[in-house]
Structure 1
Amino acid sequence: MRKIVVLIMLFGALFLGAIDLQTASKSELMSIKGIGDKKADSIIEYRKSNTISKPDDLRNIKGFGDSIINNIKNYMENNNN
């Protein structure tokens, strides 16, 4: 069931355009390669007291390195309207 929900969110995000890291839901964040449950929670917790204006801002979160940042950038470039 969880996989179905994630797939629905993924396809919804693909049709609607790029994800806003500051406001994206957990499911939307998890539709990005390399972001699972824990990393999505980390982003949501981080943005409670910080603004995320670009993917590189996530480098301030433990566990977010070049690979994940590049996945996010690629996702945003490929889904930008």
Structure 2
Amino acid sequence: MKLFSSLVSSLILSLALAGAAGAAEVVNINTADAATIDRVLVNVGPAKAQAIVEYRKAHGAFRSVDQLALVKGIGLKTVEKNRDRITVGNLRPAAAQLVPRAAQPSPAAKPALLAPVARR
């Protein structure tokens, strides 16, 4: 009886650990292929996963998880169910483009007005 109890306890512990490991899987929707997105996200099959990849190719990287709802076939409910499984990676904001101030000529650099020439 002790052997049976020990075996059942081990089985339950193994299933609990396997479930926790599966729930911890996260997918970067900016780099993953359709097969990975399909495997990791809940209620996202092959067609929706491919739509995510196509949207990313057409519009660029996702900047937030919420932006995933812009993909046709993906609603806010799907985003909420998968929020803990999705990352957009380490996106750095676009480098600030420094625009130099327009060079303003100094007063000394302005050409002097020519004095009128007297005609004879």
The TM-score, its normalising length taken from structure 2, stands at 0.46
Tell me the alpha carbon deviations over residues 32-69 of structure 1, each in whole angstroms, 9 at most, x when there is no partner: 10110110010010000222122211121122112110
The list of structure 1 runs, each at least 4 consecutive aligned residues, that deviate by more than 6 angstroms after superposition, is none
Answer with 1 or 2: which has the greater Rg: 2
C-alpha displacement of 1:26:
1.5
Instruction: Compare the two structures and name the one with the higher helix fraction.
Output: 1
* Percent identity of paired positions between Structure 1 and Structure 2: 25
Residues 1:38 and 2:47 aligned together: yes
C-alpha displacement of 1:72:
2.1
Structure 2 residue runs of 5 or longer lacking an equivalent are: 1-20, 88-120
The TM-score, its normalising length taken from structure 1, stands at 0.64
Structure 1 residue runs of 5 or longer lacking an equivalent are: 1-12
Partner of 1:9: none
Partner of 2:116: none
Partner of 1:29: 37
In the alignment, the residues of structure 2 paired with residue 56 and residue 75 of structure 1 have an alpha-carbon distance, to the nearest angstrom, of 13
**What is the aligned length?**
65
